[in-house]
Structure 1
Amino acid sequence: MAMVDEPLYPIAVLIDELKNEDIQLRLNSIRRLSTIARALGEERTRKELIPFLSENNDDEDEVLLAMAEELGVFIPYVGGVEHAHVLLPPLETLSTVEETCVRDKAVESLCRIGAQMKENDIVDYFIAVVKRLAAGEWFTARVSSCGLFHIAYPSATDPLKTELRTIYGQLCQDDMPMVRRAAASNLGKFAATVEQSHLKTEIMSIFDDLTQDDQDSVRLLAVEGCAALGKLLEPQDCVAHILPVIVNFSQV
């Protein structure tokens, strides 16, 4: 009988510990996720552990931060890169929470996973996450989406690339300054993945708009991206687009 019950033990213990009132116990349990996953095996980790974690996201920030960090290195425990997409739902949820450090860690883990995913899985799963976050009702989701475009874009089909560039442009004009700040600070990384023809037109147009934003913090973040954009442009385009911005800001 013990042989039958044994595989159920780790998930049962995890559930009990994650519902315990003692935050340290909950945190310790999250830190042992890899051990629990090894005990469960890859299939049960995919079918039971990850869905459980997706639903168990109402906790102290410290616990959620640990979860976001652990999931970023969880690909081996779900059966390798072909199953990496199962890790996206819990991280997508963590990307929308109020606490900035949790969101940042979730985005970091999403990027780490996305960088290892197969191209067709990026198209089928990862880009859908980016689009959902970018269309999120809460600004926290839209902020997080800005840090994912550079992972999604290279694998996208041409129509999807057009859509992603359009969405990014919309984020740069978002009503919430926090979203525009995130778009400005991530523009260099996104621009590095965009084709030269679109870089000179769409991306530089976005850059120009951000440098004229009515919020000081947005303008400053846009200007900080001058060096990154300058490396991507031909010298004559730097003179036309980047230099006037630097001169203008140096005179403020």
Structure 2
Amino acid sequence: MVRPGDKSRSATPKRAVGVLHLPLGDENRRLDLALETPAKMRPNQPLTVKIKASTKNGEKPKQVNVLVSAVDSGVLNITDYVTPDPWQAFFGQKRYGADIYDIYGQVIEGQGRLAALRFGGDGDELKRGGKPPVNHINIVAQQALPVTLNEQGEGSVTLPIGDFNGELRVMAQAWTADDFGSNESKVIVAAPVIAELNMPRFMASGDTSRLTLDITNLTDKPQKLNVALTASGLLETGQRFTRSR
């Protein structure tokens, strides 16, 4: 292999490695996995996922094991998480496994790039002790035990969904002694009305604050709601607040 170079810009030696991928994947060993989930559901209810597996040639696979999980899509989107594919793990392209032993990567060029500041979180500070910050956001990450489908390649899995509003990604991986497959589906979890109260994290004696209550109607019809705010313990609202809208 011939690699062009620019001697005027670089003083250190360069190396080049040529790699050619030879695909060995057999599409006949990929399972077709179909998921049946509700498009929308309420919080605090079980989520039932119906599963049906078949092979490329239309035959019913034998002894199909399935692993199903439901995770908050917002959390998965932070890291661009991709649904695991067991077929791709066994037959997909692998990273070149050879190591190169030389010191060219440790030699510093005369014309390097400028250093950049890096900003991180304060997660290390929590290791010193103390209570973690209060978090009112509920994150759903449920995974059921592996199940075995029946002779027709069908089965169902039920996952408990708590007090959560948002989108869930339902992920399923299936495998037999010879075949593999995966699939995913999206489910919207939404209550008819969502109320979010914004309040201070702490207050001292004599403090006065203002609370903000955001109410969102997620139905397609207008609703009339009665809102009442009361306080207990060392807090008081001054007067009972009631409002209808």
Larger Rg: 2
TM-score, scaled to structure 1: 0.22
TM-score, scaled to structure 2: 0.23
- Structure with higher RCO (Cα < 8 A, 6+ apart): 2
The structure whose residues are more often helix, as a share, is: 1
